Homo-oligomer: A and B are copies of this chain.
Amino acid sequence: MSTSAYDAFQAHIAEFSDILNAISILKWDARTQMPPGGAQTRGWQLASLSKIAQEHFISEKTARLLDAAEREVAGDDPDSYRLRGVQQTRQYYDIIRRLPLDLVGEKAALEPVSEGVWAEAKRDNDFKRFAPYLKQQLALAKRQADAIGYADHPFDALVFEYEPSVTAKSLQVLFGDLKAGLLPLLREIIARDDGLKHTLWDHDYPQEKQKAFGLSIAQRFGYDLNRGRLDIAPHPFEISFTRQDVRITTRYDSHYFPMAFYGTLHETGHALYEQGVDPALTRTALSIDYLGKYPVGGTSYGAHESQSRLWENQIGRSRAFWNAHFEEMRALFPDQLAGADPELMYRAVNRVKPSLIRVEADEVTYNLHIMLRVEIEMGLLDGSLQVDDLPEIWNAKMQEYLGVTPPNDSQGVLQDIHWSGGGFGSFPGYTVGNIMSAQFLAAARRDVAGLDDALARGEYAPLREWLTENIYRHGRAFSAGELLERSTGGSITVAPYLAYLRAKFSDLYGVQAG
């Protein structure tokens, strides 16, 4: 029996997928299990495997198998997984071949140095020390954008790695609409801040019980522990080594219950996506992270984030959720929740407060943190902003959007690691994900009769099944834009997300409907 050209291509890609998954396992281990003494040799192991993965993918063998597979699948249905997989491999193959080796080497060499200097600069509140490294990262990012190519704005070439369906121009429109809706809502909320005071987090919530409750809800959402596990990590993440092994992490604060709990639900949302990919896509071109970026099984950073945010916020922070699950939580924490009720819990986990730090921000202010960063990235890349001016620019934007000014750069422009690693283009995914999450949930409500009744009973299978059918199972076969088009009939738009935020927070804060 002769093997088809596609099968030969697929076998080669499966091996590439195995190397990438091995790298992910080494990373998971390094972040959750590895003894400290193993750090340096683990770094060498990861470097060798990354080199081997890259050599495997950009090889002449890939080119030959890809050419043959392209000819064989040329007549397939344009939506077929085979055709889509071959097309996507071609797209990334061409991109990666365009990156000069010296650029790749310089980036790899700069990253640990730059991250190290950033960590010191953040510790010492010394932006000037970090500035020269940020300039180097920026210069490399510009060279990378030039190598990849773009029609309009260098940002477009970089954001492609994370969110292929947006551009600088489309984001400016999207963010403009979002800002126009968010800022008035935020002002009204701030004026009514006293409404949501409580003392729930003055109590101690033992870690083991927090974990038990988080895992109980994660499983109720549909997280399959036969193909997953929950560990502790200082910087929580989800990671998968095929849909059969999808792991999540969280971190615990014995008082501030929401940290671990919503961290768990957030990563559970990512995990449901990964566990829901069609088994037929395992080890294929449609479940591969070609560029060494997160996500693996999902189609884009934003699509992935749409699922983590949907399960964390629109479900986990809803009134229906706490009506359904408060008693279960109180059974675990009877003393801590003695005087509480579902409504108090609902209000406690939804308090809005403009703050300095992105990763601690609430649903209303979060996207303002993102927009500020994206605007700065675009300005740096097109030359309209200069690195040396960043502290001032940052603080001015924080005052404009959030009404707060960082007391120092450590809590301002130096707070995130992303730029020190050269990760320009990754931030939009967070907000794109938020926006899409509302579009997907609205479409599910339209399609699934009795969805809200099910959610009110704490039944999540109807929602999860809709999401699996319309999003998860396809892996990377369709872009985020295509998934939206197929399931909502339209493209990305802020209206459903703004409607969700307005309805929820107007009610919580007694704001007049606009």
Contacts of A39 in B (CB 8 A): 244
Choose one: B34, B48, B228, B245; the contact of A42 (CB below 8 Å): B245
Choose one: B18, B25, B37, B226; the contact of A36 (CB below 8 Å): B226
Q: Is the CB of A41 within 8 A of B244?
A: yes
A234 an interface residue at 8 Å Cβ cutoff?
no
Choose one: B14, B29, B283; the contact of A29 (CB below 8 Å): B29
Closest-by-CB residue of B relative to A242 is B41
Contacts of A283 in B (CB 8 A): 41, 44
State the CA gap A464–B241 with chains docked (Å): 40
Q: Is the CB of B45 within 8 A of A21?
A: yes
- For A244-287 the 0/1 string (1 means CB < 8 A from B) is 11010000000000000000000000000000000000110000
A229 an interface residue at 8 Å Cβ cutoff?
yes
- For A42-54 the 0/1 string (1 means CB < 8 A from B) is 1011011101100
| CB under 8 Å from chain B, chain A span 22-43 | 22, 25-26, 29, 33-42
| CB under 8 Å from chain B, chain A span 274-316 | 282-283
| CB under 8 Å from chain B, chain A span 218-252 | 224-229, 241-242, 244-245, 247
Chain B min CB distance to A380 (Å): 32
A19 an interface residue at 8 Å Cβ cutoff?
yes
Chain B min CB distance to A29 (Å): 6
Contacts of A188 in B (CB 8 A): none
Contacts of A111 in B (CB 8 A): none
Contacts of A44 in B (CB 8 A): 14, 18, 283
Q: Is the CB of A48 within 8 A of B18?
A: yes
Closest-by-CB residue of B relative to A24 is B45
State the CA gap A349–B56 with chains docked (Å): 54
Choose one: B18, B35, B41, B228; the contact of A45 (CB below 8 Å): B18
Chain B min CB distance to A6 (Å): 19
Q: Is the CB of A227 within 8 A of B35?
A: yes
Chain B min CB distance to A295 (Å): 17
A459 an interface residue at 8 Å Cβ cutoff?
no
Contacts of A15 in B (CB 8 A): 48, 51-52
Q: Is the CB of A40 within 8 A of B244?
A: yes
Contacts of A40 in B (CB 8 A): 244
Q: Is the interface of A mostly helix, strand, loop or mixed?
A: helix
Most chain B CB atoms below 10 A, which of A19, A34, A244, A282? A244
Chain B min CB distance to A168 (Å): 37
Closest-by-CB residue of B relative to A18 is B48
Closest-by-CB residue of B relative to A275 is B37
Contacts of A47 in B (CB 8 A): 18
Closest-by-CB residue of B relative to A29 is B25
Q: Is the CB of A22 within 8 A of B35?
A: no
Contacts of A19 in B (CB 8 A): 48-49, 52
Contacts of A41 in B (CB 8 A): 21, 241-242, 244-245, 282-283
Most chain B CB atoms below 10 A, which of A22, A39, A225? A22
State the CA gap A458–B84 with chains docked (Å): 66
Closest-by-CB residue of B relative to A40 is B244
Most chain B CB atoms below 10 A, which of A26, A34, A45, A227? A45
Contacts of A282 in B (CB 8 A): 41
Closest-by-CB residue of B relative to A38 is B245
Contacts of A51 in B (CB 8 A): 15
Choose one: B22, B33, B38, B242; the contact of A26 (CB below 8 Å): B22
Contacts of A18 in B (CB 8 A): 44-45, 47-49
Chain B min CB distance to A18 (Å): 4
Q: Is the CB of A33 within 8 A of B35?
A: no
State the CA gap A282–B241 with chains docked (Å): 28
State the CA gap A29–B33 with chains docked (Å): 10
Chain B min CB distance to A223 (Å): 11
Contacts of A34 in B (CB 8 A): 245
Chain B min CB distance to A227 (Å): 4
Closest-by-CB residue of B relative to A231 is B33
**Also in contact, A241 and B37, with CB within 8 A (given A15-B51, A25-B29):** no
Q: Is the CB of B37 within 8 A of A226?
A: yes
Q: Is the CB of B22 within 8 A of A45?
A: yes
Q: Is the CB of B37 within 8 A of A227?
A: yes
Closest 4 CB pairs of A and B: A38-B245, A18-B48, A37-B227, A41-B242
A–B Cβ pairs within 8 angstroms, 29 of them: A14-B44, A15-B51, A15-B52, A18-B45, A18-B47, A18-B49, A19-B49, A22-B45, A22-B48, A25-B26, A25-B45, A29-B29, A33-B229, A35-B225, A35-B226, A35-B227, A35-B228, A35-B247, A36-B226, A37-B224, A37-B228, A38-B227, A38-B241, A38-B242, A38-B245, A41-B282, A41-B283, A42-B245, A44-B283
